[in-house]
């Protein structure tokens, strides 16, 4: 909390913020009352996420309102109205039904930000199947792990992704009954189909079946520090959180033009790149291209974006460039900027005030929480470096474990502890796929223990301190060391690998690997470059290590676990801490 400057968020605010009186709203809020935000399926058949996001608008006065504005890499624009989105997602749901896909089946989507991804996501939910997004930059190994572990029945992808990353290991995925290619127009055969061909012959009429709010809706795989990726399960009831957090934390109004830059392969890109803005009936911008500073500023200006939700990594990249945004681009429509993915350093908030003439509002949540839990608000003061205060309906606290089954509350301001949430909000994950015991361990003494360390100041603002585990946050992506280590060890020269996150001013952390070699191999610059290339081929550029260092022996516990904490301490020149479990200590 070294930055004591306090920015008033709303300056000459063009609209009235949704959350005017924070204390009163929190005091009066109940999740039971939040049900008035949704209409429910016709005939009292329950609650379906896709119906609330698409059909209720398509069947009403916003039928011709633009739901998605897609901009391809060349700059061409395709507008999809709510009425058109209903028709297309109905077609996709009928495609699934024709293929025998039923309620609860897992349908994975591996694609860049193209319209079929968004249509598929919503069509899957209409069919009451489970939407399972994959990040398009993943390499073959992470994709296989998730498809296999997630019991994928159908995969929606593109020809290039399928050919390069999946086809050669298709025989190891016996549950995968069908692959739908979004960019071919004839069926290749052998269980691989042309999605456009199937869509043309599918009906635009589809009746969503009875959907219990607690039915599984989305499966997000998130990396763990040990073992395989965790699959966090979310239910249709989560849309209540999506709606209210988008209104309160992102201050979305019906006529906003909203741009969430996150890829739908990650939870932010699903919750706030697809579901939340559509549920509020706003126009959402989708840019197919990857980050380019001038392109991003141009999109903000030309599309007249009013609310922008992005990541600290992108903001830091913009900070490094010699660009004066208001002088070069017309950003007069932009009124609210928010950030998520990792803590937003105070300098970035100051930069936003100086360069964008806007306060950047940091917020905090996780894959497991399903939606924003703690935020800085449009009507409230912003303390640079703070993640803000809890959303209405969210009880957050700093706790300390006193036993395997008990915690004590830390009420004194400024004291570090585990950031914990009281269970019960609708978007809270309902389990880890196939890992019931792992799920139970997340809850101690009536609290969900987030795994993040934080502290709370005297005014109720929360401040991030650090991770309680080894997860690496790089360029807004969560990377589990185990996945990277396992891939590197497939190289014939590698005996062992230990992976850490190394602080980097642009991407937050870069992935660094320490490698010990098998007998007969010698450390060399040539081998280092070979391993870097091998990692990119196996994992994809977003996950693969950026640095490799050879070590004859890696520090391990007596039980054989590599002590990544010790590797990081050596790398950064930090105290070693407790080494009592170190092998041969």
Q: What are phi and psi of 66, to 5 degrees?
A: -70, 125
Q: What is the pLDDT along the chain (585 residues), one digit of tens a residue?
A: 344 456 665 545 678 999 999 999 999 999 999 999 999 999 999 999 999 999 999 999 999 999 999 999 999 999 999 999 999 999 999 999 999 999 999 999 999 999 999 999 999 999 999 999 999 988 999 899 999 999 999 999 999 999 999 999 999 999 999 999 999 999 999 999 999 999 999 999 999 999 999 999 999 998 654 457 899 999 999 999 999 999 999 999 999 999 999 999 999 999 999 999 999 999 999 999 999 999 999 999 999 999 999 998 889 888 878 888 988 999 999 999 999 987 787 888 989 999 999 999 999 999 999 999 999 999 999 998 899 999 999 999 999 999 989 999 999 999 989 999 999 999 999 999 999 999 999 999 999 999 988 999 999 999 988 777 777 888 877 787 878 888 898 899 998 899 999 999 888 899 999 999 988 999 999 999 999 999 999 999 888 999 999 998 888 754 456 788 889 889 888 877 655 345 554
CA distance 483 to 486: 5
| Predicted pLDDT of residue 61 | 96
| Predicted pLDDT of residue 561 | 65
Strand extents, DSSP E, 296-378: 307-310, 336-339, 360-364, 374-375
Strand extents, DSSP E, 369-446: 374-375, 381-382, 389-390, 396-403, 406-409, 417-421, 431-432, 443-444
| Predicted pLDDT of residue 464 | 87
| Predicted pLDDT of residue 180 | 98
Q: Write the CA distances from 422 to 255, 267, 373, 375, 376, integer angstroms.
A: 34, 21, 11, 17, 20
In 3D space, the residue among 565, 559, 567, 564 whose CA is nearest the CA of residue 583 turns out to be 559
CB 549 within 8 A of CB 500: no
Confirm whether pTM is higher than 0.75.
Answer: yes
* 68 contacts: CB under 8 Å, gap ≥ 6: 79, 80, 85, 115, 118, 283, 284, 286
Q: What's CA 170's distance to the chain center, in Å?
A: 27
Show the CA angle centred on residue 241, arms to residues 238 and 247, nearest 5°.
145
For the packed helices 525-539 and 140-149, what is the interaxial angle rounded to 10 degrees? 40
| Domains delineated in the chain | 7-20+34-452 (3.40.50.12780), 472-572 (3.30.300.30)
| Predicted pLDDT of residue 10 | 52
* 237 contacts: CB under 8 Å, gap ≥ 6: 47, 213, 214, 426, 427
| Predicted pLDDT of residue 2 | 40
| Predicted pLDDT of residue 215 | 98
| Predicted pLDDT of residue 584 | 53
| Predicted pLDDT of residue 406 | 96
| Predicted pLDDT of residue 9 | 59
Number of other residues whose CB lies within 10 A of the CB of residue 209: 15
């Amino acid at each position: 909390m070294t930055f004591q400057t306090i920015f008033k968020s709303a300056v000459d605010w063009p609209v009235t913020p949704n959350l005017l009186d924070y204390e009163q709203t929190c005091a009066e809020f109940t999740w039971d009352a939040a049900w008035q935000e949704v209409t429910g399926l016709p005939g009292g058949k329950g609650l379906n996420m896709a119906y609330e996001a698409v059909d209720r608008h398509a069947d009403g006065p916003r039928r011709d309102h633009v739901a998605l504005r897609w901009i391809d890499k060349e700059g061409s624009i395709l507008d999809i109205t709510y009425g058109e989105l209903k028709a297309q997602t109905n077609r996709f749901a009928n495609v699934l039904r024709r293929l025998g896909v039923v309620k609860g089946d897992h349908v994975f989507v591996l694609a860049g930000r193209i319209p079929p991804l968004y249509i598929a996501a919503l069509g899957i939910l209409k069919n009451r199947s489970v939407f399972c997004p994959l990040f398009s930059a993943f390499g073959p190994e992470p994709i296989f792990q998730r498809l296999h572990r997630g019991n994928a029945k159908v995969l929606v992808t593109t020809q290039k992704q399928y050919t390069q990353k999946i086809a050669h290991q298709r025989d190891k995925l016996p549950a995968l009954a069908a692959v739908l290619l979004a960019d071919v127009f004839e069926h290749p055969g052998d269980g691989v189909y042309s999605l456009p061909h199937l869509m043309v012959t599918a009906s635009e009429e589809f009746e969503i079946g009875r959907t219990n709010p607690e039915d599984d809706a989305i499966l997000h795989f998130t990396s763990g520090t040990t073992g395989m990726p965790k699959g966090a399960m979310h239910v249709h009831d989560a849309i209540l959180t999506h709606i209210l957090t988008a209104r309160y934390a992102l201050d979305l109004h019906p006529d906003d033009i909203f741009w969430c830059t996150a890829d739908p392969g990650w939870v932010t890109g699903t919750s706030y790149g697809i579901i939340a803005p559509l549920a509020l009936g706003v126009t959402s911008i989708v840019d197919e291209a990857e980050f380019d500073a001038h392109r991003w500023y141009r999109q903000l200006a030309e599309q007249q974006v009013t609310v922008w939700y992005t990541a600290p990594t992108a903001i830091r990249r913009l900070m490094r460039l010699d660009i004066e945004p208001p002088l070069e681009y017309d950003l007069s429509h932009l009124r609210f900027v928010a950030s998520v993915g990792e803590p937003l350093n105070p300098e970035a908030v100051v930069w936003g005030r100086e360069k964008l003439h806007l306060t950047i509002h940091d917020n905090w949540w996780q894959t497991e929480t399903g939606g924003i839990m703690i935020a800085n608000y449009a009507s409230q003061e912003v303390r640079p470096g703070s993640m803000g205060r809890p959303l209405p309906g969210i009880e957050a606290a700093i706790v300390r474990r006193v036993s395997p089954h008990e915690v004590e509350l830390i009420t004194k301001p400024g004291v570090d502890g585990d950031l914990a949430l009281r269970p019960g909000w609708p978007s809270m994950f309902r389990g880890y796929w196939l890992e019931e015991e792992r799920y139970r361990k997340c809850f101690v003494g009536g609290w969900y223990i987030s795994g993040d360390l934080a502290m709370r100041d005297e005014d109720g603002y929360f401040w991030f301190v650090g991770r309680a585990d080894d997860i690496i946050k790089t360029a807004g992506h969560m990377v589990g060391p185990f996945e990277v280590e396992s891939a590197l060890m497939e190289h014939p020269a590698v005996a062992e690998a230990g992976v850490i996150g190394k602080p980097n001013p642009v991407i937050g952390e870069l992935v660094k690997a320490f490698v010990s070699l098998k007998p007969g191999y010698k450390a060399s610059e040539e081998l280092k470059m070979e391993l870097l290339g091998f990692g990119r081929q196996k994992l994809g550029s977003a996950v693969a290590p950026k640095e490799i260092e050879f070590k004859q022996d890696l520090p391990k516990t007596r039980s054989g676990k590599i002590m990544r904490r010790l590797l990081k301490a050596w790398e950064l020149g930090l105290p070693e801490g407790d080494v009592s479990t170190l092998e041969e200590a």
